């Protein structure tokens, strides 16, 4: 059994758990802020917050009723209609603002449901092992291999005019498998650690070991799985609306694209009809992906894109920094080494 660094620093005075109590709050704070220090994560979170705000206030700030018809048929963007109008004179900006809520709500519900399922299946399988593990892993692998989108399409199509909530539930029930697989793998590696063994040896109940010893260490993976599922759920919802399976009477960005496609917006050159909705989707997807990169880099520092990788030294040579190498720079302009002791380019 190896001693992990974290258990080492607990016994070194002045560090870890033995540190004077006054230092603890600042350390914790710094650790929490370290995630935000990541530019990608911050950008993603700010954009996400913007979408969240839109989802809340969108229907109130929309300048027109998204269903209201008007005489301005198929107008390009102008002062009165910022994103132009549809074939019925409906305001596209209003449709996008109103649709944001449906997209965000479905993404959130499906994400939460799928994450809960993946924790339930993945952590249970990883922790219990044996026959339970075999069975649960087989189920999640089956769900992974079966093409998710066609499955969602046939399930949703059987229900007439599926509501947002139902779509979210269907997506949530089919999208948990990937998260479960990742969580299982991580739980497997955690459950033999010393502190888990110790908890078990002191007679903690199974649910308490899982809830208080294992789950906190899975937080980053759960978060990244959640974000991934939200991306998938948003895309699936929009796709369902785009091919006209879910209810076409409520607005989301897929519905806008559904009408644009059905009314030959392309052939009529009405680019404003489908471009804003697509960009809104892409920006939301990018923001979520950036948050995920932030989490990944937070967990595994190797993935961070280092600062400058080429460094110019005082004597004008350039050294390329690489993982696994420690460049050693000669002090002065390298006179011919008399005893040949110093390495030239510092390779170990």
* Contacting positions for other proteins (CB under 8 A): 40, 138, 141-142, 144-151, 153-155, 157-160, 178, 231-232, 235, 238-239, 242-245, 257, 260-261, 266, 269, 271, 274-275, 277-278, 281-286, 288-290, 293, 296, 300, 302-303, 305-309, 321-325, 347-348
Q: In this complex, which beta carbon is closest to other proteins, that of residue 112 or of residue 155?
A: 155
CB of 323 to other proteins, least distance (A): 4
Q: What CA–CA distances, in Å, run from 9 to 12, 17, 219, 301?
A: 5, 8, 22, 20
Which residue in 135, 124, 114, 141 sits closest to 187, CA to CA?
124
207 by Cβ neighbours in 10 Å (0-12 / 13-18 / 19+) ranks as exposed
Q: What CA–CA distances, in Å, run from 85 to 71, 214, 252, 256, 271?
A: 10, 53, 16, 11, 11
Q: In this complex, which beta carbon is closest to other proteins, that of residue 196 or of residue 247?
A: 247
CB of 279 to other proteins, least distance (A): 9
Q: In this complex, which beta carbon is closest to other proteins, that of residue 122 or of residue 214?
A: 122
CB of 79 to other proteins, least distance (A): 24
CB of 184 to other proteins, least distance (A): 14
Which residue in 36, 96, 3 sits closest to 291, CA to CA?
36
Q: In this complex, which beta carbon is closest to other proteins, that of residue 139 or of residue 330?
A: 139
Q: In this complex, which beta carbon is closest to other proteins, that of residue 107 or of residue 210?
A: 107
Q: In this complex, which beta carbon is closest to other proteins, that of residue 323 or of residue 341?
A: 323
Distance in angstroms (rounded) separating the CA atoms of residues 326 and 311: 13
Q: What CA–CA distances, in Å, run from 34 to 38, 41, 52, 298, 300?
A: 7, 10, 23, 8, 13
CB of 8 to other proteins, least distance (A): 22
CB of 87 to other proteins, least distance (A): 16
């Amino acid at each position: 059994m190896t001693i992990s660094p974290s258990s080492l620093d607990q016994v070194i005075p002045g560090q870890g758990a033995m540190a004077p109590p006054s230092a603890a709050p600042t350390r914790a704070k710094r650790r929490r802020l370290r995630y935000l220090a990541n530019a990608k994560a911050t950008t993603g979170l700010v954009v996400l917050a913007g979408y969240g705000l839109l989802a809340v206030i969108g229907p109130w700030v929309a300048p027109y009723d998204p269903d209201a018809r008007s005489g301005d048929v198929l107008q390009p963007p102008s002062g009165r209609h910022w994103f132009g109008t549809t074939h019925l004179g409906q305001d596209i900006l209003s449709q996008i603002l109103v649709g944001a809520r449906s997209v965000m709500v479905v993404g959130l519900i499906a994400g939460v449901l799928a994450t809960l399922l993946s924790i339930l299946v993945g952590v249970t399988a990883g922790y219990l092992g044996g026959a339970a593990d075999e069975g649960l892993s087989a189920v999640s692998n089956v769900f992974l291999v079966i093409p998710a989108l066609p499955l969602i399409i046939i399930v949703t199509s059987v229900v007439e005019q599926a509501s947002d909530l139902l779509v979210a539930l269907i997506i949530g029930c089919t999208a948990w498998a990937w998260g479960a697989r990742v969580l299982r793998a991580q739980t497997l590696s955690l459950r033999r650690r010393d502190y888990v063994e110790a908890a078990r040896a002191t007679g903690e109940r199974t649910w308490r070991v899982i809830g208080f010893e294992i789950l906190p260490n899975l937080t980053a993976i759960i978060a990244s799985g959640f974000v991934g599922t939200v991306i998938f759920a948003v895309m699936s919802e929009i796709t369902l609306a785009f091919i006209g399976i879910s209810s076409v009477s409520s607005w989301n960005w897929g519905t806008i694209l559904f009408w644009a496609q059905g009314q030959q917006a392309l052939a009529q050159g009405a680019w404003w009809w489908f471009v804003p909705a697509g960009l809104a989707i892409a920006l939301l997807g990018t923001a979520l992906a950036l948050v995920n990169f932030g989490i990944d880099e937070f967990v595994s520092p190797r993935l961070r894109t280092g600062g400058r990788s080429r460094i110019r030294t005082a004597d004008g040579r350039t050294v390329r920094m690489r993982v696994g190498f420690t460049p050693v720079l000669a002090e002065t302009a390298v006179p011919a080494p008399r005893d040949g002791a110093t390495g030239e380019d510092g390779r170990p």
